[in-house]
């Protein structure tokens, strides 16, 4: 006879790590909590998984409720299960990450009183975060730092049309180091997946730079899923 499993005494939550780039800064999406524990603290958008939802469904619902953003493609990247990570009981959290282009028609507006507001915050000047959310964020940064070395993640953060300086800025911010301008441009142009446009920057006080587009079809044809940057 199969062993009878006693009632469970823990919960599962979702935490969403959304990265964005505004042209100069790498940013993370945070909410200001409106409930205890950690009321008035900044935190990653997160909450408990619903009893009638899959974790993927919960991730989409929670993000929508806490930030107003919907239909965002997110990937699971880690599960956090330390025993004492939540002061009210045992909570295991599944973390998701996404890379977003900032601007356009993506207003931030929580749909629940659980969050006072949602805001993009510079990763370099973060406030102290609730729970173990700094650890969750750090693990997310490690993830994209590894992936950007062999996948074109930078172009998920950039606008449709961008400069080579913006591309280099994204790589430097994620990798956490300065890159030689000449060598970086030579290497990234050698892959032949950037299409040079007959357009230049507008509304800048300095010499306008040439704009480029990422040719995803050419990338897929030449490299499939991996390219060593």
Q: What local confidence, expressed as pLDDT, does residue 1 receive? A: 44
Backbone angles phi, psi at 124, to 5 degrees: -75, -15
Q: What local confidence, expressed as pLDDT, does residue 207 receive? A: 80
Q: What local confidence, expressed as pLDDT, does residue 47 receive? A: 96
CA 144 to chain centre: 9
List average pLDDT for each run of 10 residues in the chain, which is 229 residues long. Answer: 60 96 94 96 96 95 96 96 90 96 82 96 97 98 93 92 95 94 94 93 78 92 73
In 22-156, the DSSP E strands lie at 26-33, 42-43, 46-48, 75-80, 91-101, 115-122
Q: What local confidence, expressed as pLDDT, does residue 111 receive? A: 95
Answer whether 14's CB lies under 8 Å from 97's CB.
Answer: no
Q: What local confidence, expressed as pLDDT, does residue 185 receive? A: 95
pTM reported for the whole predicted model: 0.90
């Amino acid at each position: 006879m199969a062993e009878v499993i006693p009632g469970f005494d823990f919960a599962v939550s979702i935490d969403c790590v959304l990265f964005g780039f505004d042209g100069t800064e790498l940013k993370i999406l945070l909410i200001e909590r409106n409930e205890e524990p950690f009321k008035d603290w900044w935190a990653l958008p997160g909450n408990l998984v619903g009893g009638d939802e899959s974790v993927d469904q919960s991730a989409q619902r929670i993000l929508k409720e806490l930030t107003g953003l919907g239909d965002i493609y997110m990937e699971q990247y880690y599960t956090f299960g330390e025993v004492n990570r939540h002061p009210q009981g045992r909570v295991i959290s599944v973390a998701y990450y996404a890379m977003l282009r900032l601007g356009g028609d993506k207003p931030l507006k929580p749909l629940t009183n659980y969050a006072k507001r949602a805001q993009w915050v510079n990763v370099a000047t973060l406030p102290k975060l609730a729970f173990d959310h700094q650890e969750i964020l750090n693990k997310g940064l490690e993830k994209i730092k590894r992936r950007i070395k062999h996948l074109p993640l930078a172009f998920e953060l950039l606008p449709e049309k961008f400069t080579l300086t913006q591309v280099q800025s994204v790589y430097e911010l994620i990798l956490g180091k300065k890159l030689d301008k000449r060598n970086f441009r030579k290497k990234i142009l050698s892959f032949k997946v950037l299409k040079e446009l007959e357009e230049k920057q507008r509304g800048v006080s300095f010499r306008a730079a040439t704009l480029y587009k990422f040719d995803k079809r050419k990338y897929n044809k030449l490299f499939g899923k991996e390219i060593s940057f």
